Amino acid sequence: MDGEKSQSSADSAQAAAQSQTYTGSTTVYDLMAWIDANRRNIVLGVVLVVGLAASFGVYTWWKGENELKANGALLGLPGSSLGMAVTNANPDSFFKVAADYAGTESGVRAQLLGAQTLYSQGKFADALSAFAKVGDSTEFVSIKATAAYGVAASLDAQGKPAEALPKYVEVANRYPSEGVASLAKISQGRIHEAAGRNDQALTIYDGLVRNIATDIWAQEAQSRRQDLLARHPELVKALPTVMMPPAATPAPLTIAPGK
């Protein structure tokens, strides 16, 4: 009985959280609207996941006493763990660790978290410079990919889609195996839609949907694709037709005369 009550309470709490998060919406269109409205938080989530993953791997990166001190300095800052809201953190604290321990992986992570904090605070121009500095100071592909996406997102957030678009393309092309690659493609599609280049947006969404079984962002691409085709039915006619091979004609049945 106690187990059933606990499960019921957990289910109720989960339902309440989902209700607050999606504001009671149930359709894919409402979900898309929520994603657009919370795009900044989604970007922050991507950056934070990479930053934390790097933290969990710190034991493999320690390269002596300086790295150990750098990691301790970083972990001592508010906003460097899941329990803190990065929006309320002080980006200069992260940048000080990055400067004091330049050349260490903890210093790189500090720079990334500082850039993330600036972005969360709406200081997109400063975030752009900070993300660019991250990419120039590390050889770890996941962090470089996230920083490159941060550069594109910072331009996008400043209302500069023409400058953001090639940066998103670069992220997708240079880091095709990283999680931010699909997110960069969706951003490309969104910019093409806004500019009226619906055929290009559709091509991007189609490419993502093909990987719907393995790509977490393919579901959003599918929703955007359906919405785009609903608003522009002329695109349906332009879709390539899959030609099925003609059915094989069976050989005539010949019955040999009995002897």
Domain ranges of the chain: 23-238
Question: How large is the average pLDDT for residues 240-247?
Answer: 44
The closest alpha carbon to 47, from 92, 14, 93, 80, belongs to: 80
Q: What whole-number distance in Å separates Cα of residue 159 and Cα of residue 177? A: 28
Choice between 32 and 215, residue whose per-residue pLDDT is larger = 215
The closest alpha carbon to 51, from 128, 125, 131, belongs to: 131
The closest alpha carbon to 74, from 113, 45, 129, belongs to: 113
Average pLDDT of the residues of the chain: 75
pLDDT-derived band at 42, boundaries 50, 70, 90 = low
pLDDT-derived band at 87, boundaries 50, 70, 90 = low
Listed in sequence order, the DSSP H helices in the chain are 2-22, 28-37, 39-56, 65-75, 91-100, 105-120, 124-136, 141-157, 161-174, 179-194, 198-209, 218-231, 234-238
Q: Is the pTM of this model over 0.75?
A: no
* Tokens 């919370």 sit on residue: 38
Q: What pLDDT is stored for residue 238 in this prediction?
A: 63
Superfamily for domain range 23-238: Tetratricopeptide repeat domain (1.25.40.10)
Q: What whole-number distance in Å separates Cα of residue 200 and Cα of residue 225? A: 11
**In the chain, how long is the greatest CA-to-CA distance?**
102
Q: Are 145 and 178 in contact (CB under 8 A)?
A: yes
Choice between 150 and 248, residue whose per-residue pLDDT is larger = 150
For residue 35, pLDDT over 90 is answered with no
Q: What pLDDT is stored for residue 4 in this prediction?
A: 52
Helix (H, G, I), strand (E, B) or coil at 178: coil
Q: What is the DSSP secondary structure assignment for residue 160, as one 8-state letter?
A: -
Q: What pLDDT is stored for residue 181 in this prediction?
A: 93
Question: How large is the average pLDDT for residues 46-54?
Answer: 53
CA 238 to chain centre: 29
Q: What pLDDT is stored for residue 106 in this prediction?
A: 80
Choice between 165 and 3, residue whose per-residue pLDDT is larger = 165
Q: What pLDDT is stored for residue 85 in this prediction?
A: 41
Q: Tell me the per-residue pLDDT of 125-179, one tens digit each, with 9 for 90 and over.
A: 999 999 999 988 888 888 899 999 999 999 999 999 999 999 999 999 999 999 8
Q: Which residues does 209 contact at the CB level (< 8 Å), separation at least 6?
A: 218, 221, 222, 225
For residue 191, pLDDT over 80 is answered with yes
